Amino acid sequence: MRMSANKKHQPFDAVIAAPFGAVGIAIQGVQIFIELLPKKQALKPAENKTVQRVVEQIEAYFNNPRNDFNLPLIFKGTPFQQKVWQIIGGIPCGQVLTYSEIAEMLGSGPRAVANACGANHLPLVVPCHRVVAKHGLGGFMRGVDGGIKIKQWLLKHEGVRI
């Protein structure tokens, strides 16, 4: 999911082409940030090993959605967000859960789950696109123009039919 305007971590350390536009990757200290970009962007090659490792794994996902990510990750978020992200990280490729199902697991509400999805700074790695509404896709990337098309592409790429 896209970070809110005040949390963007630009400039990116790398920008790679994606079937839906581009993916920006930024490293700040030990924290990795991934941003899905709905429009083509000027590409920027990775200039260090950590960024190159992220690039390679994202490209591997685009070639085969069943590729697992193996990155040194640090999740910064509230305890609730981290619980949501842990559940999302366990959703197998090709499957989905609803916001309501995750909320029920946590004794919370669907809106709180959606907000935690929106705070995810590692889309693809923590596949928040696999969380949908009871009746349809639900939101994605906090309503950014083009976000739903990215969600549709990702789910189709993984073999999900909504």
84 and 150 together in one domain? yes
**pLDDT band of 6, cuts 50, 70, 90:** very low
Q: Per-residue b/e over 110-124, b at no fewer than 16 CB within 10 Å?
A: bebbbbbbbbbbbbb
Single out the residue in 63, 96, 113 at which a domain terminates.
63
Q: At what angle do helices 99-106 and 110-118 cross, to 10 degrees?
A: 110
Pairing outcome for strands 14-18 and 21-28: antiparallel
- Dihedrals φ, ψ of 108, to 5°? -130, -160
- Measured distance CA(124)–CA(8) in Å, rounded: 17
pLDDT exceeds 50 at position 1:
no
88 and 153 together in one domain? yes
- Measured distance CA(17)–CA(22) in Å, rounded: 4
* CATH code for the domain of 152: 1.10.10.10
pLDDT per residue as tens digits for the range 75-111? 889 999 999 999 999 999 999 999 999 999 999 999 9
Catalytic residue among 1, 15, 16, 128: 128
Q: pLDDT averaged over the chain?
A: 91
To the question of pTM greater than 0.95 for the whole model, the response is no
Q: How many domains does the chain have?
A: 2
Q: How many residues comprise the chain?
A: 162
Is residue 162 included in any domain, yes or no?
Answer: no
CA distances from 105 to 6, 31, 101 (A): 31, 28, 6
pLDDT per residue as tens digits for the range 106-133? 999 999 999 999 999 999 999 999 999 9
| Model pLDDT, residue 10 | 61
| Model pLDDT, residue 4 | 37
Provide the token pair at 13. Answer: 């350390």
Query: Residue 34 belongs to what domain range?
Result: 5-63
pLDDT exceeds 50 at position 5:
no
35 and 105 together in one domain? no
Is residue 69 included in any domain, yes or no?
Answer: no
| Model pLDDT, residue 123 | 94
| Model pLDDT, residue 8 | 52
Is-catalytic flag, 128? yes
| Model pLDDT, residue 107 | 97
pLDDT exceeds 50 at position 36:
yes
Q: With contact defined as beta carbons under 8 Å apart, do 101 and 95 qualify?
A: no
| Model pLDDT, residue 29 | 85
pLDDT per residue as tens digits for the range 43-80? 999 999 999 999 999 999 999 999 989 988 888 899 99
Q: With contact defined as beta carbons under 8 Å apart, do 55 and 34 qualify?
A: no
pLDDT per residue as tens digits for the range 136-147? 999 888 878 888
Residues 6+ apart with CB under 8 A from 63: none
